[in-house]
Chain A
């Protein structure tokens, strides 16, 4: 099984001859079975130890390579906490108090800090809302990608530089050499999200968590980023966890949806099923609001009016 960035890069960089030798390292010994889950979350409960109450009341899902799970819910519903638990970056005082999370066969409760460091980036990675803040403002963005490649893949400085540029090209950035040398304040939101994605996939993770990754972007850029994620997933078998408060974003990309409210999973199932036959009140509300305020509705009304006018004329 080829590594993620190799596939991305060979696709994007057909003119680069040394590519295959460069990336053809065998650092990642993935399980032979492609359908083995890379991430299993079983009845995970998360509590605020300082306040002494449970915030997330049991979330379960499994993710196999190339699949995408969407978590929808209003802010404060516990979707971000669930993702942070899987990344091992829960805020202070928050702890997983029940259930288990398995990352590529490793139960995270038994992980040492060093093992965590090894797994992050190489097995699981994440991108967030507000990409500018997740990149160091005083280091060129390219150097931050190269750093990941150097540390996680053991590449030399020069090779890492070239690899970073290839990654920037792989996330469809125009003129990657120029972007490599720029600082965060010199790039637009959409470009930064691409850079953040490039940094996140630099060490060939098997799981990518996108926590509201497109929320702050305008609609066209959001669509481009979602296309990019779908593209990565298709070509490389990257498993996605997509967190959003926007049902449309999740519907576009995910096989399975979890609807969360106040720490509970109120509805879970295949995307099509959930969208067409919502069983829970809250899911119906989310869909109804989309129908009520979505552009489709507006366009439908306009079309109906136009049709009526035509009929009157006739």
Chain B
């Protein structure tokens, strides 16, 4: 396609470059969005279907919770009819799914409370902790990873790599207990347990979520730092870095404009994978820090055999995880065009 005998550029093509650029960026975002939604919808349907099938599979019944083990079959049937459980499975599913789509997750078997409300209460706590943990993970992980990559194969790099390896193998509950022992019991810097909503004061809110967030963040810090370090080191070996050096760009510009941009992908993808782990690990940390969060609610509901509550928890988890991955995918598509080419 190289030509020296190219025909003169027609005047109407002159402005194409600028507009195509903008249009292509928009197009890229839309394609990524469409593709993500195309994945989201079937995942959501299958996941909710499996979730809903849990009740039939588990054989749990609200009648057992309300009436105890010695209830007569007639009484059980009466209670199940009240809950609409005598209807065909698919009818129940469609009915339930309709509710879910409107934000109605049903009623708890144990106390008859609205599950959406219950989850909403716990979610505030958990999202505060998880978001803060994610923030710590991103900031600390990026800093450590970047410094290690820039000082690669020096003692700084080795110290960071060692530190990161150590914290990556420490489970959140161990870290949590140690943090409580040191910072709450020993130094009295942070409260050891409990939660204060942000509405009642930013300071107390932050103080209460700091220790659990730090405990949760270790894993994220370690993974982001290691991933970022290796991809930055790899990016620095690429020829385009030499190309940028030869064109006379400064080291700072090369790092932020070229190396970081291309090295960011794997670390971001790691972040997308870490989010479900954070939600899962919150069950344990919420126990240690005495938080009435989403994880605790999930655990309590499961132990009580409160199937609608567990289903609600799963639906919310699915939405959270998929939504977070959607965001990560959009950022990835923005950062590197390669990610939307191959997949």
Contact = CB atoms under 8 A, between A and B. Distances in A.
Interface string B166-203: 00000000000000000000000000000000000000
Interface in A174-215: 174-178, 180-181, 183, 185, 187-188, 190-191, 194, 196, 199-200, 202-203
Contact of A138 (B4, B18, B253, B335): B335
A284 interface: no
Interface residues of B, number: 39
Interface stretch (B111-119, B120-128, B239-247): B239-247
B262 interface: yes
B13 interface: yes
B262 A137 contact: yes
Interface string B223-252: 000000000000000111011111111110
B154 interface: no
Contacts of A151: 248-250, 253
Task: Give the interface SS of chain B, mostly helix, strand, loop or mixed.
Answer: helix
B2 A135 contact: no
B8 to A, nearest CB: 9
A134 B14 contact: no
Interface in A145-186: 147-148, 151-152, 161, 165, 172-178, 180-181, 183, 185
A133 B17 contact: no
A207 B311 CA distance: 70
A165 B6 CA distance: 16
Interface of B: 1-4, 6-7, 9, 13-18, 20-21, 24, 238-240, 242-251, 253, 257-258, 261-262, 335-338, 341
11 contacts: A89-B246, A117-B248, A121-B248, A125-B248, A128-B239, A133-B243, A136-B244, A172-B3, A174-B1, A174-B7, A180-B21
Interface of A: 87, 89, 113, 117-122, 125-126, 128, 130, 133-140, 142, 147-148, 151-152, 161, 165, 172-178, 180-181, 183, 185, 187-188, 190-191, 194, 196, 199-200, 202-203, 221, 224, 227
